């Protein structure tokens, strides 16, 4: 029963599975659409460039699906440690369906089911869950798990570990927790200069998955100058979704007078998109939804580029585009900078739950 509805609630587009929360744009014609119901006065010179890829990444789709499936399969309440992804709209929507978001594991009643967010957790949190006999479902993005595995490997080999990222971000808290005694977090080149390690010949670095590519490159360069023998990950830790969204902004920002990034304040990759645009001298703002747009921003603007962070649902992008159309931006053109076709499998505990739901055949999972 459940497996069928899971697949039916999604659609395939360009080989990407689209989460149900993103399907509202299936009805929307982005390419040179000048006729929508909210279109304002006809104006051929005011246009919206809708960047692609934008919005949900594979890790976010997976994490949201995990919460929805858990709610449908096990029923409410389902506890979620921290925001499942950093987006208020998504969190509120899941809370309405029965998810209870908590900051700490000790807020989850003993023996209940808890989901770890896409940003991952430290071993200490896993231990706490065990002590409270919680039933854990892990929605950590596989690309975050990859960084945890690297941290464990370097620590076991006796390296001092430099973790490039933002100290207050949930992901850094989790990764740091894998080897707290040998790990130092840096977020600027200046902090690299001040680093002290027991053996400068035995140092390794890792990064948060959602950093600015340019900033990370400068920090890694500074690390290599300070520790010429420094080791690093086999492939970069900054994930494909972060890189693709930043590349899209880099390619299009010069054609726009203004770049609007849909995303929440605490979304790291969304904030980085604003910075990328600003570094290219194109004015840019991070907005939760159309309600956050100050009409003054549009004064004298003829081209607005719109993108969205990896945790922002398409329905909010649609809302922003409708707002702009209402204010005379009659031409909406989707600019695909590169194709994106990534999806992640569900964790075993969710696959088992779907398989054991009444009426499910293995083929529907
Ligand atoms: Fe995973 Fe990257 Fe998405 Fe974060 S932004 S959930 S690391 S794919």
Residue 85 Cα: closest atom of ligand 1? 6
Instruction: Give the distance (Å) from ligand 1 centre to CA of residue 216.
Output: 16
For a mutational test of ligand 1's pocket, the pick from 210, 237, 267, i.e. the residue with the most ligand atoms closer than 8 A to its C-beta, is: 210
Instruction: Give the distance (Å) from ligand 1 centre to CA of residue 193.
Output: 29
Instruction: Give the distance (Å) from ligand 1 centre to CA of residue 58.
Output: 7
Please give the positions annotated as active site.
Answer: 171
Same fold, 12-57+240-336 and 143-226: yes
Predicted TM-score (pTM) above 0.85: yes
Which stretches of 53-173 are assigned E, i.e. beta strand?
A: 78-81, 99-102, 113-116, 135-138, 160-164
Domain with residues 143-226, CATH architecture = 3-Layer(aba) Sandwich (3.40)
CATH code for the domain defined by 58-140: 3.40.50.11270
CA-nearest residue, atom 1 of ligand 1: 59
State which H helix or E strand residue 335 sits in: strand 331-336
Give Cβ neighbours of residue 158 (< 8 Å, ≥ 6 apart).
202
pLDDT in tens, the chain (365 residues): 333 322 222 233 222 333 323 322 222 333 344 333 333 444 558 999 999 999 999 999 999 999 999 999 999 999 999 999 999 999 999 999 999 999 999 999 999 999 999 999 999 999 999 999 999 999 999 999 999 999 999 999 999 999 999 999 999 999 999 999 999 999 999 999 999 999 999 999 999 999 999 999 999 999 999 999 999 999 999 999 999 999 999 999 999 999 999 999 999 999 999 999 999 999 999 999 999 999 999 999 999 999 999 999 999 999 999 999 999 999 999 999 999 999 999 999 899 877 877 666 544 44
- Written out in words, the top-level CATH class of the domain with range 12-57+240-336 is alpha beta
Q: Which protein residues are within 6 Å of ligand 1, measured from CB?
A: 57-60, 118, 141, 143-144, 209-210, 239, 241-242, 269, 310
Instruction: Give the distance (Å) from ligand 1 centre to CA of residue 147.
Output: 12
State which H helix or E strand residue 348 sits in: helix 348-356
Per-domain boundaries in the chain: 12-57+240-336, 58-140, 143-226
Q: Do strands 11-13 and 16-18 pair parallel, antiparallel, or not at all (unpaired)?
A: antiparallel
CA-nearest residue, atom 8 of ligand 1: 59
């Amino acid at each position: 029963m459940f497996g069928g509805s899971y697949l039916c609630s999604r659609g395939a587009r360009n080989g990407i599975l689209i989460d149900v929360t993103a399907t509202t744009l299936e009805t929307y014609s982005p390419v040179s659409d000048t006729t929508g119901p909210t279109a304002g006065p006809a104006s051929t010179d005011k246009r919206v460039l809708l960047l692609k890829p934008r919005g949900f990444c594979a890790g976010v789709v997976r994490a949201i699906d995990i919460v929805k499936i858990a709610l449908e399969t096990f029923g409410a309440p389902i506890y979620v440690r921290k925001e499942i992804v950093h987006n208020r709209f998504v969190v509120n929507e899941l809370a309405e369906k029965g998810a209870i978001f908590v900051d700490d594991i000790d807020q989850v009643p003993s023996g209940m089911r808890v989901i770890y967010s896409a940003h991952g957790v430290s071993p200490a949190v896993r231990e706490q869950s065990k002590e409270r006999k919680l039933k854990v479902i892990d929605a950590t993005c596989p690309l975050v798990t990859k960084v945890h595995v690297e941290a464990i490997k370097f620590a076991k080999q006796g390296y001092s570990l430099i973790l490039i990222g933002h100290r207050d971000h949930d992901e850094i808290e989790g990764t740091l927790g894998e080897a707290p005694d040998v790990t130092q977090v840096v977020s600027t080149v200046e902090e690299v200069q001040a680093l002290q390690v027991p053996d400068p010949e035995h140092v390794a670095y890792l990064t948060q998955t959602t950093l600015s590519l340019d900033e990370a490159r400068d920090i890694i360069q500074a690390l290599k100058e300070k520790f010429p023998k420094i080791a690093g990950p086999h492939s970069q830790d900054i994930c494909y979704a972060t890189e693709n969204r930043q590349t899209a902004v880099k390619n299009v920002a010069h054609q726009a007078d203004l770049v609007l990034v849909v995303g929440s304040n605490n979304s790291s990759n969304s904030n980085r998109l604003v910075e990328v645009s600003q570094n290219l001298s194109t004015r840019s703002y991070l907005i939760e939804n159309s309600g956050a747009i100050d009409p003054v921003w549009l004064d004298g603007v003829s081209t607005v580029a719109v993108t969205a962070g990896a945790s922002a649902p398409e329905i909010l992008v649609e809302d922003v585009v409708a707002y702009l159309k209402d204010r005379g931006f009659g031409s909406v053109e989707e600019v695909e900078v590169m194709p994106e076709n990534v999806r992640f499998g569900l964790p075993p505990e969710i696959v088992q739950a779907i398989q054991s739901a009444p009426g499910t055949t293995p083929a529907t999972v």
